[in-house]
A and B are shown apart, each in its own frame.
Chain A
């Protein structure tokens, strides 16, 4: 194939990032759950990339996605941008300890990070820009994350093998 030599797993993850970003910001009338699902998957990819594909270009990629997400979701800059940048920075610091853990532990750590970043985004948007902290929405996102986390991480590891 023409582009096959450029298509490695890092590129695949970035393409997935673009796709799920687009799905989460555009309203899908008949299946609104798809928006939440895409939003949740997008965050999982962000965590997975920071954990397993850490490189400096990711700061720029996350900067663009964080900024775009803030602009399209709330017309203010802050919550997503700050959380993504700080997440990447923090994971770089703790990565060496996480890598020694067994896979089950890493799975729970990824899930925990997902729960924390979703909470941080909502709490920052609440205190910075007076967006209502929607408990129902947060619970929905947690439930979706819980359900999709395991199959999603299995798919991610399959992509890794490419």
Chain B
């Protein structure tokens, strides 16, 4: 009798409804608490989220993305003539730099031989393709098609041919999420090439710029100087190109990252040997 009453109670849709709503609320609060305490269940949920939601949302939004890309291409065609002239000038300028670079490479090789130095301390874990880029509403991040199966782990560094791209913040079996260098929660210790200026820089609310949050000994660099990773925190390998100083304002240094975070196609995940 008691058993039959119990079944009757649960089969009443209103009761099931309110019970499932209560369970959902409990799960919500548990997830928030687990996320704050970094409990392993949350990591599973996060990697599942990246694996399932990211590709599905990409497919659904693809018609709009394709249309906007087509419009951009048409717009680019209009500017083709001016772009061509600008590129011709740039090619001439870069050819001069190439000659200088080739000379420096051969000189470097000779010096390394003389010193018996082994300077390459980086190991490429995987070269990956960018499969999605999140909008800039909260954080600036990309999703790449390399994960645990490829030896990728959290906190590894991501670079491309131009310099530092960001770091891995979440890994699933086949995908990973990369926090971009221009995100406000991304901080990195940098120095100039002359090694007389050291600072910690992070992303700013202005999409394109990196901003100094701490400058060692309050030394001021010059506009135009190149910033590279200092490697002092032992998280990032040293001497990776980060950006160029473009402005110094109110004791703050603003730099433009070398990497174009808007147009990322291929990246490399690296680790210190």
B28 in contact with A82 (CB, 8 Å): yes
Instruction: Give CA–CA (A117, B24) in the complex, Å.
Output: 20
Within 8 A of A (CB), among B29-69: 31-32, 34-36, 42, 45-46, 49-50, 53-54, 56-61, 64-65, 68-69
- Indicate whether B235 reaches chain A with its CB closer than 8 angstroms: no
Q: Which bucket holds chain A's interface residue count?
A: 35 or more
**A63 contacts across to B, CB distance below 8 A:** 24, 27-28
B24 in contact with A72 (CB, 8 Å): no
A6 to chain B, nearest CB (A): 19
User: Which of B31, B133, B184 has a CB less than 8 Å from the CB of A27?
Assistant: B133
B139 in contact with A22 (CB, 8 Å): no
Whether A26 touches B58, Cβ cut-off 8 Å, given contacts A67-B49, A81-B31, is: yes
**B250 contacts across to A, CB distance below 8 A:** none
B134 in contact with A28 (CB, 8 Å): no
Within 8 A of B (CB), among A79-122: 81-82, 85, 89
User: Which of B58, B136, B139 has a CB less than 8 Å from the CB of A32?
Assistant: B136
B209 to chain A, nearest CB (A): 14
Tell me the nearest residue of chain B to A62, going by C-beta.
Answer: B24
Q: Which bucket holds chain B's interface residue count?
A: 35 or more
Tell me the nearest residue of chain B to A71, going by C-beta.
Answer: B49
Chain B interface, >50% SS class: helix
Within 8 A of B (CB), among A104-162: 125, 128, 130-132, 134, 136-137
Give A residues with C-beta under 8 Å from B. 18-19, 21-32, 34-36, 39, 56, 59-60, 63, 66-68, 71-78, 81-82, 85, 89, 125, 128, 130-132, 134, 136-137
- Chosen A-B contacts, 30 in total, with CB atoms closer than 8 Å, are A18-B60, A19-B61, A22-B56, A22-B58, A22-B60, A26-B57, A26-B58, A27-B134, A27-B135, A28-B65, A29-B68, A30-B68, A30-B71, A39-B135, A56-B18, A56-B21, A59-B25, A63-B27, A68-B57, A71-B46, A71-B49, A73-B134, A73-B138, A74-B139, A75-B141, A77-B32, A77-B35, A82-B28, A82-B32, A131-B184
Give B residues with C-beta under 8 Å from A. 17-18, 20-21, 24-25, 27-28, 31-32, 34-36, 42, 45-46, 49-50, 53-54, 56-61, 64-65, 68-69, 71-72, 75, 132-139, 141, 169-170, 177, 179, 184-185, 205, 262-263
